[in-house]
């Protein structure tokens, strides 16, 4: 059990000290809950913070239960999606992509995302349940040809972590806790407040101000 995302991030950062001040390393967080975790890790390691946009497709009768995940360039479906109408999946995919386009505009404005080619990418979230969102993000990042992809998580069920570790795109996966009685990420935090888009924008700005200054000097 973690007190909050800050504690979880600090514990993860202790496992990632080899990357402190390491040029070419980027923390990539999955919004929205992964961004406070990514922010704290980027601060501890003194490396830039970036985001990767993906969102789960919820089951039509239980939106919290993920049957897949969507990015702007790819999507992944689990076996549970076989029981769901293809029309529903198509409509949800389009709706989610519209939302992701909005978020790109909110998070970046006129700024371009960092190019991850030949970078060491440390991909973080506040936890995973099915792993579908994480898998779609890994596949999306791999398209940019990074040097290495490291997944860092506070908590995940053993089955989802096994899927992540089994991906050929993943060089290393670090997870602090793998409980078998897993229902939702939030059950492993004492404080698990919803993170809104305004917080994401503020944390991205704060994390990267000094790196912007370095470039301009």
Rounded CA gap, 126 and 177, in Å? Answer: 12
List the domains of the chain with CATH numbers: 5-53+117-216 (3.40.50.2020)
Residue 211 has a pLDDT of 72
pLDDT tens, position by position, for the chain (217 residues)? 999 999 999 999 999 999 999 999 999 999 999 999 999 999 999 999 999 998 889 999 998 888 999 998 888 999 999 999 999 999 999 999 999 999 999 998 878 888 999 999 999 999 999 999 999 999 999 999 999 999 999 999 999 999 999 999 999 999 999 999 999 999 999 999 999 999 999 999 999 887 765 554 4
- Residue 208 neighbours by CB under 8 Å, 6+ apart: 48, 49
Beta strands of 44-194 (E only): which ranges?
Answer: 49-51, 55-59, 62-70, 75-77, 120-124, 148-155, 172-177
Residue 64 has a pLDDT of 82
Rounded CA gap, 12 and 158, in Å? Answer: 18
What string of DSSP letters covers 21-73?
T-TTEEEEE-TTTHHHHHHHHHHHHT--EEE---EEEEETTEEEEEEEEE-SS
Residue 216 has a pLDDT of 43
Residue 212 has a pLDDT of 63
> Tokens for 118?
């030949």
């Amino acid at each position: 059990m973690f007190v909050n995302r800050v504690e979880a991030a600090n514990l993860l950062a202790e496992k990632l000290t080899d990357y402190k001040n390491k040029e070419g390393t980027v923390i990539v967080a999955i919004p929205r809950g992964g961004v406070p975790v990514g922010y704290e890790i980027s601060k501890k390691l003194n490396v830039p913070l970036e985001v990767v946009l993906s969102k789960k497709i919820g089951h039509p009768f239980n939106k919290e239960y993920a049957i897949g995940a969507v990015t702007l360039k790819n999507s992944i479906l689990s076996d549970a999606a076989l029981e769901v109408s293809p029309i529903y999946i198509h409509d949800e995919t389009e709706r989610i992509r519209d939302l992701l386009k909005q978020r790109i505009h909110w998070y970046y404005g006129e700024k371009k995302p960092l190019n991850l080619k030949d970078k060491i990418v440390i991909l973080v979230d506040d936890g995973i349940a099915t792993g579908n969102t994480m898998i779609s993000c890994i596949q999306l990042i791999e398209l940019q040809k990074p040097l290495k992809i490291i997944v860092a998580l506070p908590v995940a069920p053993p089955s989802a972590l096994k899927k992540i570790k089994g991906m050929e795109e993943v060089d290393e996966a670090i997870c602090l806790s793998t409980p078998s009685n897993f229902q939702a990420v939030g059950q492993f935090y004492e404080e698990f407040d919803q993170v809104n888009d305004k917080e994401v924008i503020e944390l991205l700005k704060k994390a990267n101000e000094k790196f912007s200054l370095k470039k301009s000097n």
